[in-house]
Amino acid sequence: MTTRSASARVRSASAALMATAVVGLAGCAGTVPLEPGPESNAVACAETMVRLPDTVGELDRRTTNAQSTAAWGDPTAVIYRCGLPEQGPSDLPCFTIEGVDWLLDESNAPRYVFTTYGRAPVTEIIVDVTYIAGADAVRELSPLVGVRDAAARCLVATDVFGGGTVNPTPTPTP
């Protein structure tokens, strides 16, 4: 169950972050400049931030300049942001990793944007798949996000149609 407008908002927010994060993704071992989410001061974000790992895959954690953000790799290959607003239904593909539902936006490949679905505050993970597989990075970080309760989940056709098969409407015979 999806709508275009929510997906457009996700893409727009992701594009803005991508523009901000280009310097960090380009390399240089200094601080990675990022924009905090509007709800980055949420207690749930703080509880997650203190548990983030020093490495994701083989990538070392870097310093960032914004609250509730993290980055790994040099050049930066993984960006984590907590505190984005809820976006509702989307037309982006949605799947579950380690018990957490994620929307996947591949429009800026090779930088894929994974956004939590059904959890507040929303978390976003941007992965440059040139350096690490997106699913691997998200798999490592999902358990930290999964401590927050889900208010909604991804739906698949069997959820919508009650787990049965869909039969076409019979055509009336003359």
Rounding to the nearest 10 degrees, give the CA dihedral for residues 8, 13, 18, 24: -160
The full DSSP string for 12-39 is HHHHHHHHHHHHHHH--SSPBP-PPPTT
Judged against a pLDDT cut of 60, whether residue 159 lies above it is answered with no
The pLDDT value given to residue 16: 41
CB count, 10 Å around CB of 99?
10
Single pTM value for the model: 0.75
- pLDDT tens track for 100-117: 999 999 999 999 999 999
| Residue whose structure tokens are 């548990």 | 51
